[in-house]
Structure formats: C-alpha cells, structure tokens
A and B are shown apart, each in its own frame.
Chain A
C-alpha cells in the first residue's frame, strides 16, 4: 500500500495536475509538493505527488512495476 509510483506532470493548474505514469494518464494533486512544476517527474501516492524524482530513478521504479505486473500475470495464468 505504501508503494509510490513515478509519473510526469503533463498538465498543471495551481495544485491540480494530470500526470502520465507508463502511458496511463490520471488526475493528481500537487498540494503536498508545492515546488512541483509542469514537466517534472514526481512520486505519486494515493493521488498525490509526494516527492520529486529524477529520470534514472523513475526508470528503475517503472521497470520494477512492469516486472511486478508481468509476474502477477504469469501467476494468474498458473493459478487459473
């Protein structure tokens, strides 16, 4: 539950943002990260940006999440 995911801010109006995480776009808030700017990469948790994150670290986390998804799919297939 406490795994935050990296996303890029692609729209920003005050603290209301739209972010893109691995091609998925969703609404988000930057209330907890007032320094966040348009185009920034941020760590998202429960709809809120909680930290800035650099490109390299974001990439590592995305890869980790993709791997989790793949594993989950394999496991689901096995248990079917």
Chain B
C-alpha cells in the first residue's frame, strides 16, 4: 500500500511542478468531501495541490426557495411531509422542519417506498415527498411515481428537487473566474449515469475527469491519476472505480428517470439558475407534481446576510474565510446549508479542522 501512496505522491509532485502554480482539483460529491477530511488526505498531499469541495452535497445545493416551500407545505393541516433525514434541520424562513413543526406532520423516511406507503396508510392526508438528491436518488423517486400512477394513489405528491451533476460542472467551468483544473467525479452517481456521462466535460472544457470510490486508496489514486494527466498536459476520462462503475451506467435506472422526468432549468444555491440541471415531472405525471398541484412558483431564494455558502460551493473560498463560520454558524446552530448537512463543506471543516499540509 505504501508503494501505491508513494506513486500517487510522485504524480502529485510532478503535476505541481509541471503546472508551476497551485493545482486545483474539485470533488463534486459530499461523500468524497467527508472521506477526504476523515482520512486526513489534505495532510498528505503537496502544499501546492488544493482540493476544492464543489456542489456535491444535495442538501447544500438546494435553493432557499425550495426549503421555504417545504416549510410552507408543512404548515398546512392537510399535508404530511415525507423527507429524508438530511433535510429536517435545514433552516428556512422562521425555522426548520425540526424546530418549526410537530412530529405529527413531518415523517423521516429512509426510502421513497416508505413515503408512498405513508400515502397508502394516511388516505385523509396529502403526502408530499421531499425528493432531493442527485442521480443516485432520482430513480428511486421515479419508481414510486410510476407505482403511485399504477395504483391510482391520489394523495401522493412529489416536490421534485433532484439535481444533475454534469450541468453543474459545466456551469462552474463556464464562470470566468473559476479555478478548477480537474474533477474527481462521484462514485455512486456514476453507478447510475456511467462514467461516459463526463465525456462532454473532458471534450468541451479539456479538464481531466476521474471517477473514484470512497476508500482512501481510491481517492489518493484518483488524485494521482488526475495529476498524471495534468503533468502530461492531457485531459482524459477515466474510472478507477471499476468494481461498480461502467461506462454506460445503470440503464434500467436511466430509463425510469427518463419515463418520469425531463430536464428543466433550476436554481442551485450559490450557482444560480442552471440550464437543464434539475428534473421536472413529465406532464403525464402532473397529478403527482407538488409544484403544480400546490401552485408553487420557483423564485431564487434569499440567503442569510453574511452567509457565503454560495462561494464555498463554487470552490472560490474555504469555509473559514466566511465571517459566520464557527462563530454564529456551527453544526449545532447552522445558518447556512453547508453547515447543516454532515456532508457539507463547512460542517466537514468544522468537525475535522484545518489539516496540516505536507511540504
């Protein structure tokens, strides 16, 4: 194992040398963000290699207006909110699902199937499933929409907040002041979309894209592979997570996403409106679409004054550069979404602290 780490180190050093400046690699998966911190990976990479935590935590990139909509729906006596646990502490107008609402009308679910079951068990309530997450989670939502349609379950609704990783990567690279040299691509999102989905980033923006798993060795070798490409002046598409990621991905999952959803423009916290970056329910499933059934219009949400989650998500600043970080904004009392989710960059920085760098 030491030999493999040494090899990765040599590749990293070579890339920093070849680039003659700081090298910036962005990970776009919250699980990578946490794994990098937990394993102290920042402490073993060269000083000139900087890891940026991009918009990879679904809770963090969910726009404030979506959160406020969820809270409004939770206020209604006729609604029952079914949500993944990650969402209940996110602050919005006047509180969060956890602080603002009784346990009676907010239920934490582990799967979309549980949300649909709630609708079956509570026919007098309108059950609204808070469907957030990237491509890994979207097919699970699509399956239950189809089941609800097949079973004529008319009190089940989906507030679609699913987001697509590749359009966000394109948006980041289209910003004039971005500083991203390469991407460490998400492991389990790629199980669904296939590593081939990142080909357009390599082709259109000439940035290396390497898919890696979540073990420390996978991350270190993924960074090593990126650095090998950078020092050779190349940008290639590669997956080193060969155990579960294929080029095509899970085509059954892609098919069910396509049946229920279509890409639509949508707001991301920090990144603003991104073209075709979210999933909207197709017209044929409009009766299950909470946005349409409850007349919700999407407007960009207002963020708390002083909160710099947006810049953190774009890799423009590190969390400690935000004036609220660790002072008024902590995991116990979060102000910004990046502090709420355990996968958020701010929460990870707070928990694991600044790690010393290898010279």
Q: Which residues of A contact B (CB under 8 A)?
A: 1-4, 26-27, 29, 31-34, 43, 45-48, 50-54, 57, 60-61, 64, 68, 71, 75
Judged by DSSP, the binding face of A is mixed
**Do B351 and A75 have beta carbons less than 8 Å apart?**
yes
* B187 surroundings in chain A (CB, below 8 A): 2
Nearest residue in B to A1 (C-beta to C-beta)?
A: B58
Q: How far is the CA of A65 from the CA of B351 in the complex (A)?
A: 18
**Do A53 and B244 have beta carbons less than 8 Å apart?**
yes
* B186 surroundings in chain A (CB, below 8 A): 2
Contact of B133 among A2, A43, A52, A75 (CB under 8 A): A2
* B113 surroundings in chain A (CB, below 8 A): 27, 29, 47
**Do B256 and A2 have beta carbons less than 8 Å apart?**
no
Count of chain B residues with a beta carbon within 8 Å of a chain A beta carbon:
40
Q: Which residues of B contact A (CB under 8 A)?
A: 29-31, 38, 56-59, 84, 86, 110-114, 132-134, 136-137, 139-140, 143, 186-189, 191-192, 214-215, 243-244, 250, 252-253, 256, 341, 343, 351
Knowing A2-B134, A32-B256, A64-B214, the reply to whether A51 touches B139 (Cβ < 8 A) is no
Knowing A32-B139, A45-B136, A71-B38, the reply to whether A3 touches B188 (Cβ < 8 A) is yes
**Do A46 and B112 have beta carbons less than 8 Å apart?**
yes
Knowing A33-B252, A51-B244, the reply to whether A2 touches B30 (Cβ < 8 A) is yes
Q: How far is the CA of A3 from the CA of B186 in the complex (A)?
A: 10
* A57 surroundings in chain B (CB, below 8 A): 243-244
**Do B252 and A1 have beta carbons less than 8 Å apart?**
no
A and B contact pairs by CB, cutoff 8 A, 16 listed:
A2-B134, A4-B188, A4-B191, A27-B113, A32-B252, A32-B256, A45-B137, A46-B111, A47-B110, A47-B113, A50-B136, A50-B139, A50-B191, A51-B244, A61-B215, A64-B215
